[in-house]
């Protein structure tokens, strides 16, 4: 059974590949790249929208293929901004905004509050869609954001985010360290037994 990842985000793909023993295929390798409208009201809804869209397209394109689809919808929330950017993290600086645009918009929003740092947390919802059903799990990572960029590892808002218990930003920490503590790593730890269960069902 093929594990297909319903994401166009290279940083997520890199982290999933590092965290999964199984081979992970990017949906674009099977279907070509395209955008999915993420108009859900929650991380969970958006994760399901992405996984269902790719599952449906795969069924149409490869009717006899054996696969299940995993998606990730995630974002960063600042209590001082009433939870923004939250589910809008990818388009915080507008439709078509890139990681850098969003990062600097958030730095400016922190500065505009007269703050040098402020609590923040990441949320990830991982959805699994398969012939045996649909599942959603969540993970969180708490910490703080600072008013500047430090390091160039990770992706997205990582260069301004310092996880609780650390002095460095995720821009300065390796993927292996991030995966052990991250929202995505925690959600994937919950998804793994579901993936194993689906594989067992598939054999029997
Ligand atoms: O670990 C992370 N480290 C840094 N930034 C992160 C992380 N996790 C989510 N983020 C930010 C990036 C993006 O601004 C938004 C996710 O938006 P989200 O729609 O889930 O992903 P996306 O559009 O980049 O790829 P896709 O929807 O194809 O999976 O939150
Ligand atoms: Mg997206």
User: What letter would DSSP give residue 138?
Assistant: E
pLDDT in tens, 97-120: 999 999 999 999 999 999 999 999
Centre a 10 Å sphere on the Cβ of residue 132 and count the other Cβ atoms it contains.
13
Q: What is the mean pLDDT of the chain?
A: 97
Output the pLDDT for position 202.
Answer: 85
Percentage of the chain exceeding pLDDT 70 = 100
183 assigned ligand-binding residue: yes
Residue pair 123/110 in contact by the 8 Å Cβ criterion: no
Q: What are the sequence ranges of the domains in the chain?
A: 2-203
For ligand 1, atom 23, name the residue with the nearest CA. 90
- For a mutational test of ligand 1's pocket, the pick from 41, 87, 89, i.e. the residue with the most ligand atoms closer than 8 A to its C-beta, is 89
11 assigned ligand-binding residue: yes
Residues 6 or more apart in contact with residue 114 via CB below 8 angstroms: none
Does this complex have an ipTM over 0.85?
yes
Long-range contacts of 14-18 (CB under 8 A, 24+ apart): 14/175, 15/175, 15/178, 15/179, 15/182, 15/184, 15/185, 16/70, 16/72, 16/184, 16/188, 18/175, 18/176, 18/179
pLDDT in tens, 45-88: 999 999 999 999 999 999 999 999 999 999 999 999 999 999 99
204 pLDDT exceeds 80?
Answer: no
What's the CATH number for 2-203? 3.90.950.10
| Active-site pick, 72, 73, 152, 202 | 73
Average pLDDT over residues 156-184: 98
């Amino acid at each position: 059974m093929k594990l297909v990842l319903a994401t166009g985000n290279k940083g997520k793909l890199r982290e999933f590949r590092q965290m999964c023993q199984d081979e992970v295929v990017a949906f674009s390798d099977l279907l070509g790249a395209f955008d999915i409208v993420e108009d859900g009201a929650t991380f969970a809804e958006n994760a399901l929208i992405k996984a269902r869209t790719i599952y449906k397209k795969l069924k149409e394109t490869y009717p006899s293929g054996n696969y299940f689809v995993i998606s990730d919808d995630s974002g960063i929330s600042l209590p001082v901004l009433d939870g923004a950017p939250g589910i809008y993290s990818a388009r915080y600086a507008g439709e078509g905004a890139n990681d850098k645009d969003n990062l600097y918009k958030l730095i400016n929003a922190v500065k505009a509050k007269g703050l040098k740092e402020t609590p923040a947390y990441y949320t990830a919802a991982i959805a699994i869609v398969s012939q045996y059903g649909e599942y959603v799990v969540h993970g969180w990572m708490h910490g703080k954001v600072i008013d500047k960029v430090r390091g160039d590892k990770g992706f997205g808002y990582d260069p301004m985010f310092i996880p609780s218990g650390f002095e460095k930003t995720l821009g300065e920490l390796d993927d292996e360290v991030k995966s052990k503590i991250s929202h995505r790593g925690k959600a994937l730890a919950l998804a793994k037994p579901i993936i194993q269960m689906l594989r067992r069902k598939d054999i029997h």
